[in-house]
Amino acid sequence: MLLSSVQCSERYALLRSVEAGFRWLYPYSKLIFFYQSNSLNMRKLLPFRSAYLSLLTTTLLGVGVNAYAQETSSPSSTYAAGRVAEKWVQLRGVVYDKMGEPLNSANIRVTLGKKVWAAMTDANGRFTLKVPIDVMNGRTKITASYLGMKRSSITLLSGKGEYTFRLEDSGMELGEAIVTGYGTISTREKTSSITSLKMDDILMPGMTSIEQALEGRVPDMIFMQNSGEVGATARLRIRGTSTLIGNREPLWVLDGIPLSDPVDVTNEQLNDPDYINYIGNAISGINPQDIERIDVLKDAAATALYGTRAANGVIVVTTKKGEPGPPRISYNTQMRYTARPRYSDRNINLMNSQERVQFGKDLTDLHYAFPNHMTMVGYEGLYNRYVTGQIDYDTFRQEVQRAETVNTDWFKLLTQDTFNHNHTINMSGGNEATRYYASLGYNKEEGVVKTQFSDRYTANVSLQTKIAETISANIRVNASVQKKNQLPNEIDPLGYAYNTTRALPSHNPDGSLYYYQKHAYNVGTDKGAQYKYRYNILNEVANAENTYENNNINAALDLVYRYKTMLDLTLTTSYQRASSNRHTWFGEKGNYVAQLKNGESEVAPIPGKHGLSDLPYGGVYNMSNNVNENFLLRLQTNFRYNFGERKQHLLSSSIGYEMNAARTNGYSENTRGYFKNRGMKYVIMTPEEMEKFPHYASWVAANHPRLTADKNNRLSSYMILSYSYGNLASFSANGRFDASNKFGSRSNEKFLPVWSMSGMLNIKELFFKYNRSLSDGRLRTSFGKTGNMVDNQTPNLLLRQGSVDTYYGENISTVYALPNPNLRWEQTDQFNIGIDFSFFDYRFTVGTDAYYKHTKDAFNNVNVSTINGVKQYVMNGSDIYNKGMSISVSGYPIKSKDWSWYLSTNYSMVFNRIEGKSANEYSLNDFLTGTALIDGEAIGTFYSYGFLGLNPKNGMPLFDDYSDRRHLLEGKTLGEIMKMMMVNSGSREPNLQGSFYSTLRWKQISFSTSFNYSLGNKIRKFAIYKDILNGISSENNVRKELLERWKAPGDEKYTTYPALLSPSDIGWIEYRFHWSSDAQVGVHGFKPFAENHWTMYDNSDLRVVSGSYLRLSNMTVRYQFTNKQLKKTPFSNLSLDLSMSNVFTLKSSELDGQDPTQTGFSINTSLSMRPSYTIGMRVTF
């Protein structure tokens, strides 16, 4: 093997050290290594092995030796070969990353046969390399490579000496270039816990939102979806929960600009596990097709730069940028079919008409006392008509037989199979000086529930240009329009389909709607259950809507000034505007308006006070509008300096200032007398006519438009300092300080910086340098502190100014917030340790992280007497502990030209608990639903009544409710009673989640599967005895479990479903009112802890099951056309997809068909995750 030195200026001692290294390799080789240096006048023959050629050239490069090598049989012939190459040419060039940043220490290589010439880039990304003129033959290539990026090769051409490379991130190599929002760091400098994902790798066909693509893909992130309805937004938790009353969602950052959540959603709603968020989050308006990558920042070292907003983690979204080259147009389209629920589905366990009619007969045979003012339908209604003489017996039997065969398909009437589609077209191109990317997108989603839909229009423009040699600009504009329609909360079509008897017809024989009398809404003045009006659920759906429209625009400008290679100055400014409009309408022909009117639509309203008409004409129309504007100005200086004899030391720092101003203005108004279908007009009434309807006149006089305004100013400063020693170690420290008018004057006085320290060691280089199997290995550790302050908490009393009191003729004000001078910052300490390995030339990667988080002085709302002017007061007092770990493994078991098999899996666990006695007094419902914060327990912990069995005498449920030892409960708080008497059922939030992803490719065909699993959470089954409380109505359907109820003594050995007890039964009162229900503090010395035996049964531990599941979330088959196949077409790229989502779910058999996303905690019924089928196409011109 021959090495010929053509440039050498290093000292002899350095070359002797290189020689010693090669002699160390002698036992591994029988080959000869030969080099010469004319400047040092020395020639050496050394044994060497060709397998170490890469190491050889790189090592010599460090001492300034450009080298080539070839195998030879003898030293003489080797040397001769070296003397042939006498004419040389010098190649120059520069290597950039995809973002246009120069890459330091990138490897440059030219290979001709078995000869290799190598060089390395400097801090400016530039390189020079001398090669023999023979290689400039139009066939030999020059290759640039960099750790964590894909290699790039360019053919060497005679007469061309300048070459420019732009390297893309590699999905397989350990750690990619990381985008933090405040800059980009390489793998060599990474010290924190960050998960980086390419959107093309995680976005499966049929996915329309970013959070859907993140499910199961991010270690340490818990994904919770509580509804399969269109537009429903999942809840995300990164490394547990860091706050109790603040927003627990992560901070979204778009191209370095933090985004704000919609103002229409409060923190209480976002933290409520039963709240279904149809409005969306801060990133909902972004088209996933426009996203290039996502970086999830998890530990304090990564999130500290975002200050007080980042306690729950940060998700950095980077949109696509243009690529140099001619204009390219790409079009992506997907069409998706989603199946509606059906009574034949395994997760729907409801009675059919025949079963429900027989159930009604059983009730009447028991002389069951039905509820007062019950709707008379089904068997019960027919029996009532018979016994009251309205129909004869033969008619009664005929009608009963017909009712048994009705089997109204409420799911078919209220839900639909949907065909949805989305389209994205983009254009990109440019040159080395200017690059551009522009796209337009449209997504149409029809809801499974009829009348519900979600439309999204998006536009994205990105322009990167060099204004001068040292000045560059980046302009970005994102805009979106979202239009959604959901039925008002008062109308629950899914709940109606689940809870309404199928023996009730929807239409008359002539095809007209079948109406029955019902008191459906508790609205209006003094209208009890006896006020019934015409009702048909289809008519209600047709006469109501709840529309939501959101318009967003985000514009940002980056100006970058570079001074040589060590310093740059970046000025960033952005403007965000989000406008949301919500409209709720109830038409005059619906039951809702009939309640307010106290009469049907075609009947004249009843005047006078006793007419109880709150709305004599028209319908209801409520509207709200919110406009949020956000301005950001950021000035950041970045410094990078390489020093040392071999430039092995890298010192970098960033210092920045950030100013942010947010303004929110809102308008809301409730109106009546609206005619949507009459030109969207309002009724006009004279003062004399208004006097005829005093209830309506009073309502009009008391309701006025409501205006709101809010402003938030924030000033921040931050600093990053890091040091790297070659590729061996990196250390980093950063800090940030925030001041805001929202924190209150006293909080700003209490200086609390957010800071972190972190480090990385390259254990591969330190301990396994010559291990061929291990490609890379790095150990990371970090510790940091973050702080948080609640808005509007000051040491001063805050008053809300009101208008004029007409009685006293004076201005009025109300208490908005009590003085809170002693409130301290909520502080979170976090420690993280992680290790990453890559094996077999980066073919397999393994990573693991472990963390510990402690939040002290956590804020909590404490209930206070309303005599203070407010209902709650914010106090410190609780500590939150989170700990967990995650493991991720990925790699290619098979990788060849025609075959490849990629596998990826990750597993995450998180455990949290709350410590510190809370001064808050929670209600019984809080303990039963898991919204109470309990000392020593995890967030989401709920309690259940301990079920002992059924009473063998009457089949009623038995509980250990301390009825025989009531004295032990005296003086106890409700929380103490819960722990004494009830069963801790676990937490509603899972503590273990993970995924398994596989892609098998054969030539142009690939088959991908994605499994997601969730473990550790508990859910309550649907309540089956809730209607027993006031009597089972004839309108209601019941679950099939009641067919297995207790009916006679001895049945308690075979069933756990209690007997049906009629309100006319002598023992009804005993079970209707629990013995503690009349207990009052001062009488028994404790508060009620149960209402009745039926709610106790539905909330018993018997009805609690595991919410764990394994779901095949996606299966996709893709066909990628080759360039040869597309040769005679105008396309440069074409692929076709066929995909199925939510294929199946493995879950606990005790759920009896209930989906794990559906729980028995909420009053409304949520839609289960529905299977869908998608066809997609991607084409580039």
Instruction: Give 532-563 pLDDT, tens digit per residue.
Output: 899 999 999 999 999 999 999 999 999 999 88
Rounded to an integer, what distance in angstroms lies between the CA atom of residue 551 and that of residue 627? 9
Among the ranges given (306-310, 406-410, 465-469), the one the predictor scored with the smallest mean pLDDT: 306-310
Structure tokens at 272: 């409520």
Enclosing H/E stretch for 410: helix 410-414
Query: 917 or 909: whose pLDDT is higher?
Result: 909
Average pLDDT over every residue of 865-870: 73
Reported as a pLDDT band with limits 50, 70 and 90, residue 178 is low
Ranked by mean pLDDT, which of 71-80, 84-93, 144-153, 969-978 comes out on top? 969-978
Query: 1152-1165, pLDDT tens digit by residue?
Result: 778 888 777 776 67
Res. 176: pLDDT tops 70: no
What's the mean per-residue pLDDT of the chain? Answer: 83
Q: Residue 724 has what DSSP assignment? A: E
Rounded to an integer, what distance in angstroms lies between the CA atom of residue 624 and that of residue 493? 24
CA-based nearest residue to 640, from 631, 632, 649: 649
Q: Which domains does the chain have, with CATH numbers?
A: 1-86 (no CATH), 90-168 (2.60.40.1120), 353-398 (no CATH), 792-822 (no CATH)
Average pLDDT over every residue of 717-731: 90
Res. 59: pLDDT tops 80: no
Rounded to an integer, what distance in angstroms lies between the CA atom of residue 1046 and that of residue 1063? 17
pLDDT of residue 751: 58
Res. 35: pLDDT tops 60: no
Res. 43: pLDDT tops 50: no
Q: Residue 1165 has what DSSP assignment? A: P
pLDDT of residue 264: 66
pLDDT of residue 952: 93
HSE (side-chain half, CA atoms, 13 Å) at 611:
20
Rounded to an integer, what distance in angstroms lies between the CA atom of residue 480 and that of residue 579? 11
pLDDT of residue 738: 83
pLDDT of residue 74: 34
185-188 long-range contacts, Cβ below 8 Å, gap at least 24? 186/147, 186/148, 187/147, 187/148, 187/778, 188/147, 188/724, 188/727, 188/730
pLDDT of residue 44: 39
- Single pTM value for the model: 0.82
Rounded to an integer, what distance in angstroms lies between the CA atom of residue 818 and that of residue 795? 8
Reported as a pLDDT band with limits 50, 70 and 90, residue 1127 is confident
pLDDT of residue 908: 93
Q: What share of the chain has pLDDT > 70, as a percent?
A: 88
Average pLDDT over every residue of 832-841: 91
Q: What share of the chain has pLDDT > 90, as a percent?
A: 35
Average pLDDT over every residue of 1028-1051: 83
Among the ranges given (40-54, 229-243, 267-281), the one the predictor scored with the smallest mean pLDDT: 40-54
Query: 628-684, pLDDT tens digit by residue?
Result: 999 999 999 999 888 888 788 889 999 999 999 999 999 999 999 999 988 899 999
Rounded to an integer, what distance in angstroms lies between the CA atom of residue 1104 and that of residue 1122? 54
Rounded to an integer, what distance in angstroms lies between the CA atom of residue 893 and that of residue 900? 8
Task: Give CA 679 to chain center in angstroms.
Answer: 41
1070-1078 long-range contacts, Cβ below 8 Å, gap at least 24? 1071/956, 1072/1029, 1074/961, 1075/961, 1075/963, 1075/966, 1076/961
Res. 585: pLDDT tops 60: yes
pLDDT of residue 62: 45
Q: Residue 964 has what DSSP assignment? A: T
pLDDT of residue 796: 78
Reported as a pLDDT band with limits 50, 70 and 90, residue 148 is low
Reported as a pLDDT band with limits 50, 70 and 90, residue 1009 is very high
pLDDT of residue 824: 82
Query: 943 or 797: whose pLDDT is higher?
Result: 943
Query: 306 or 558: whose pLDDT is higher?
Result: 558
Average pLDDT over every residue of 745-769: 79
CA distances from 481 to 421, 445, 733 (A): 17, 14, 41
User: What pairs with residue 1100 in β-bridges?
Assistant: 945
Enclosing H/E stretch for 595: helix 591-597
Query: Which residue type is seen at 740?
Result: S
Res. 886: pLDDT tops 50: yes
Angle formed by the axes of helices 393-406 and 378-387, to 10°? 170
Reported as a pLDDT band with limits 50, 70 and 90, residue 1087 is confident
Structure tokens at 628: 């949020």
Query: 957 or 372: whose pLDDT is higher?
Result: 957
Reported as a pLDDT band with limits 50, 70 and 90, residue 263 is low
Average pLDDT over every residue of 425-431: 90
Query: Which residue type is seen at 699?
Result: W
Query: 960-998, pLDDT tens digit by residue?
Result: 888 888 888 888 888 888 888 899 999 999 999 999 999
DSSP letter string, 386-438: HHTTSS-HHHHHHHHHHHHHH---HHHHHB--EEEEEEEEEEEEE-SSEEEEE
Query: 308-346, pLDDT tens digit by residue?
Result: 778 888 999 999 988 777 888 999 999 999 999 888 887
pLDDT of residue 413: 94
pLDDT of residue 70: 40
Res. 900: pLDDT tops 80: yes
Query: 376 or 441: whose pLDDT is higher?
Result: 441
pLDDT of residue 77: 33
